[in-house]
Structure 1
Amino acid sequence: MHRFLIILAAGGSAALLLGALGFQYIGEMAPCKLCYWQRYPHAAAAGIGVLALIIPGTLLPYLGALAALATAGVGAFHTGVERGWWEGPSTCTSGPIGGLSPDQLLDQIMAAPLVRCDEAPWEMLSLSMASWNAIASFGLALLWFAAANHARKQG
């Protein structure tokens, strides 16, 4: 049961990360800064899941839960930015500008996709991707906690 919970939790993070990449590359929806911030903990959780299948104990499942809670928190924050409850980061994305001429800098700015953190590019049942990520990630955190609890009882 312990291994199944880990596979489910880590696999869930991997699936959410793949879904985000699908929206980006297949659906052509460029991510904003907060979107990227939600991806990093999912990648960490997937890696932690691989390690947790090899290394016994409760530490790794708790770290997986922490990663899931981190992405859930960013997703909840992003939802608030999208709904206008609070302000998001003052900048969304930018590339390096060192050593560029004014014309090159203008070309770079004009070629960059305009991605705003306060606009939801996709919704389902009135919830944005950030909202769905927060909900799913809270659920994944519960799976990680269950895996840690199961490991604690076994060892």
Structure 2
Amino acid sequence: MEPRAARRAGALAALFGAVAFAVAWAAQHALSLAPCALCLLERWPYRALILFGVLAAISPPTIARVLLVPIALAFVAAIGLSFTHVGVEQGWWPDPWPACMAPRLAHGSIAERLAAMPPRPVKPCDSPTRLFNFLPVSMTSLDLIYALLTCIMTMLSARSRRAR
């Protein structure tokens, strides 16, 4: 591996993580799209990409190479969480997180039922959010595609360039 390749891959990972996080933040705050519990969980790998990517970009090459391991694991987590969420949206499997489901209010008094309700309405994880109305693809599907492509691009940038 060329000495600067790991640092370049770290910088790319940090950039890709920041872009993904900025798009999610803008969709939530600027476009007022409510995230579900899985959407919020999907942001954590991008936070890790930013952290480890910046560390790899500013570290000596030997340390930067070691930091490629948590960067790769963050990409695997981003891909896995996105794939899980796409499966929930498509009805391939049930919601894996209790926060994705409506509270059960079968027992107790009215006061106990009201106390058990969340402070604000929760968006169900199986309800797709579309960023573009003309495109029949959910934000989660776009996130999965983005995670796969940016993972490939980052790992390819870490490969050595052969001398010509």
The answer on 1:74 being equivalent to 2:84 is no
- Matched residues in 2 for 1:108 and 1:18: separation? 33
Q: Offset of 1:130 from its aligned partner?
A: 0.9
**Residues 16, 42 of structure 1: 8 Å contact kept:** yes
Specify the alignment match of 1:132 in structure 2.
142
Specify the alignment match of 2:10 in structure 1.
6
Specify the alignment match of 2:117 in structure 1.
109
| Unaligned ranges ≥5, structure 1 | 95-101
- Matched residues in 2 for 1:59 and 1:144: separation? 15
TM-score, normalised with respect to structure 1: 0.79
Q: Where in structure 2 are the equivalents of 1:47-126 lying within 5 Å?
A: 47-55=51-59, 56-57=61-62, 58-92=65-99, 103=111, 106=114, 109=117, 111-124=119-132, 125-126=135-136
TM-score, normalised with respect to structure 2: 0.75
| Unaligned ranges ≥5, structure 2 | 102-109
Q: 1:60 to 1:22 in 2, by over 3 A?
A: same
Q: Where in structure 2 are the equivalents of 1:33-44 lying within 5 Å?
A: 33-44=37-48
Residues 94-144 of structure 1: CA distance to partner in whole angstroms, max 9, x if unpaired? 9xxxxxxx7497268374123100001225432211111111111121133
How many aligned residue pairs are there?
146
The structure showing larger relative contact order (alpha-carbon pairs under 8 Å, at least 6 residues apart) is: 1
- Matched residues in 2 for 1:117 and 1:140: separation? 24
Secondary structure, aligned partner of 1:145: helix
Q: Offset of 1:90 from its aligned partner?
A: 4.8
Residues 34-63 of structure 1: CA distance to partner in whole angstroms, max 9, x if unpaired? 111110000000111110012223221232
Specify the alignment match of 1:23 in structure 2.
27
**Residues 83, 118 of structure 1: 8 Å contact kept:** yes
Secondary structure, aligned partner of 1:113: coil
- Matched residues in 1 for 2:31 and 2:55: separation? 32
Q: Percent identity?
A: 31
Q: 1:110 to 1:92 in 2, by over 3 A?
A: closer
Q: Offset of 1:88 from its aligned partner?
A: 1.4
Please tell me the residue identity of whatever aligns with 2:136: S
Identify which of 133, 142, 152 aligns with 2:152.
Answer: 142
